[in-house]
Structures are given as structure tokens and as C-alpha cells.
């Protein structure tokens, strides 16, 4: 299925400086003191945490939140090159190192594999919540692919007994959140 790579970041940590130049101007300096329950604030935090390189390469970014929904840490999982089908994005948005005809695993399989090391760690701290973000190339909305990812994330978190505060899509064009309340997994 390809190789997955992880990076972690904590507020105030030594990696904090790598986020300069992002477009999250609406984010206040006190955002770590606020719960990530407001979708607008959360979208700004996602914009901060998911770099443009992450969006170009294809990543699943996991924002880990305390039981009171305050941000704790970020884990970024780099997805295999075939995670986002090349035919789903315009040719100019496909990185040069990706095949234009790759047929890879389904979003449910990829999300499950990416979440596999995360779930046991999150379960060690009862009440911990997650915000998941698919960073991908291409235009702002690819409804079918994005919905498959959000449904997979909702199903996986529900099965694991983990609160999912939100699922976001990050592209070069911006951040948005598919409606996870109307997915079959959310209705279960």
C-alpha cells in the first residue's frame, strides 16, 4: 500500500516556527486557549497545521484534542503516492512524482491504515477527541472522493469509540469541511 510517514508538532514546541507565511490571518494568538468547537476557528487552525507541501503531497493530519476540546498536538501522516487518484485532479495539480494512472487502495483502506497507529495512542487518554484533515492536491471540492474520506473517518472513529470533532479538506485553494452529520456512519 505504500509507505506512511509521521510528523508531530506541539504548540510552543521547537517546530513552531515552520508555520510562518501561511494564510491564517483570522487566528488569534490565544487560539490554544479556546476549544476547537467553532468550525471557523478550527478551519484556521487546520490552515495553520496543514502546510502547502502537505496539501501537494497528500496527507492525513490528525489534530489531537483534550477532553475539553482544546488542542494538544498534531500528527501528520504522509499518504502513499497513489492515495489520491490522479484522474481525480487536474493534470497541472498532480505532483511530478505521482503516476497519472495509479489505481490504489480505497479511501476507507487508506484512512484505516493511517489511523491504525493513532487509535491505540488516543485510547490511552479517555475523552480525547480528534479533528482529521485530508490534505490533497487539486481544486477545493472533489465531492465524491472527499465524501468517501469523511465517511471512512467517521466510521473508523465511531468504531474505535473516539470523538471526531470534525473532518476537513485542505487544498491549495483553502479549507472546507464536508458535512459528516449526514454520512451513513453518523446516522448509525
Confidence (pLDDT) at 7: 42
pLDDT 10s digits, 80-128: 987 776 655 555 555 555 544 455 788 999 999 999 999 999 999 999 9
pLDDT 10s digits, 2-22: 443 444 444 444 333 222 233
Average pLDDT of span 141-161: 91
pLDDT 10s digits, 15-55: 332 222 335 677 888 889 999 998 888 989 999 999 999 99
What proportion of the chain, given as a percentage, has pLDDT over 70?
A: 72
Mean pLDDT estimate for the chain: 79
Q: How far is CA 43 from the centre of its chain?
A: 11
Residue with cell 467553532: 38
CB neighbour class for 62 (10 Å; exposed up to 12, middle 13-18, buried from 19):
buried
Domain ranges of the chain: 5-187
How many whole angstroms separate alpha carbon 181 and alpha carbon 91? 32
pTM: 0.78
Amino acid at each position: 500500500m505504500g509507505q506512511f510517514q509521521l510528523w508531530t508538532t506541539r504548540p510552543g514546541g521547537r517546530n513552531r516556527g515552520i508555520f510562518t507565511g501561511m494564510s491564517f490571518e483570522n487566528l488569534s494568538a490565544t487560539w490554544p486557549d479556546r476549544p476547537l468547537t467553532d468550525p471557523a476557528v478550527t478551519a484556521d487552525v487546520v490552515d495553520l497545521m496543514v502546510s502547502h507541501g502537505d496539501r501537494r503531497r497528500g496527507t492525513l493530519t490528525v489534530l489531537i484534542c483534550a477532553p475539553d476540546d482544546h488542542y494538544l498536538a498534531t500528527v501528520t501522516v504522509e499518504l502513499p503516492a497513489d492515495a489520491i487518484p490522479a484522474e481525480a485532479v487536474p493534470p497541472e495539480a498532480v505532483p511530478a512524482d505521482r503516476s497519472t494512472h495509479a489505481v490504489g487502495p480505497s479511501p476507507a483502506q487508506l484512512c484505516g491504515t493511517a489511523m491504525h497507529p493513532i487509535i491505540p495512542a488516543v485510547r490511552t487518554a479517555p475523552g480525547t477527541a480528534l479533528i482529521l484533515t485530508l490534505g490533497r492536491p487539486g481544486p477545493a471540492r472533489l465531492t465524491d472522493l472527499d465524501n468517501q474520506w469523511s465517511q471512512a473517518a467517521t466510521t473508523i472513529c465511531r468504531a474505535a469509540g473516539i470523538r471526531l470533532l470534525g473532518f476537513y479538506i485542505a487544498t491549495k485553494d483553502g479549507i472546507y469541511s464536508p458535512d459528516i452529520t449526514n454520512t451513513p456512519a453518523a446516522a448509525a
